[in-house]
Homo-oligomer: A and B are copies of this chain.
Amino acid sequence: MIETNETAKTGESLPLQQTLDSLPFNNDGLLPAIAQQHDSGRVLMMAWMNREALQETIATGRVCYYSRSRAKLWRKGETSNQVQRLIDLRLDCDGDTILLLVDQQGPACHTGRESCFYNAIRGDSVEVIEDPLIPPDQLYRR
């Protein structure tokens, strides 16, 4: 359904619920979701959403993923306080990837770093390019 928008002009639209229902969720019922800090443009992390997580995120304005390891909804920050407030939600041309523009509270990464993408290719090495904002053992204390 979302491919209809490929040839649409700016401002043209499709109905939300039917479009979401028709997205090409994978065999596990999931779509990848990229979280980007809305003002700095920094890409923070990538996680997964099922239909329910996507619905909740849009309805509440607080980002909810689906945790594949825990096999349940994962309201980002529920144990770490690393909440992501949703600023805007985008779908790509074929609807198989979600882009979340967020306002991230604290670091996004479980290591305490601002972004999960702190490993960079440098010659023949994979080098750490960022230190934690918060020691990871302090993220889960309250």
Q: Which residues of A contact B (CB under 8 A)?
A: 2, 5-17, 19, 32, 34, 36, 40-43, 45-46, 58, 88-95, 97, 99, 109-111, 113, 116-131, 136
Contact = CB atoms under 8 A, between A and B. Distances in A.
Contacts of A36: 41, 43
B128 A5 contact: yes
* Copies in the assembly, this chain: 2
Nearest to A27: B27
Closest A-B pairs by Cβ, 5 of them:
A41-B41, A13-B125, A92-B116, A13-B127, A90-B117
A18 to B, nearest CB: 9
20 contacts: A5-B118, A5-B119, A5-B126, A6-B136, A10-B128, A10-B129, A10-B130, A12-B127, A13-B125, A13-B127, A13-B128, A88-B120, A89-B120, A90-B118, A90-B121, A93-B109, A93-B116, A94-B116, A95-B119, A97-B117
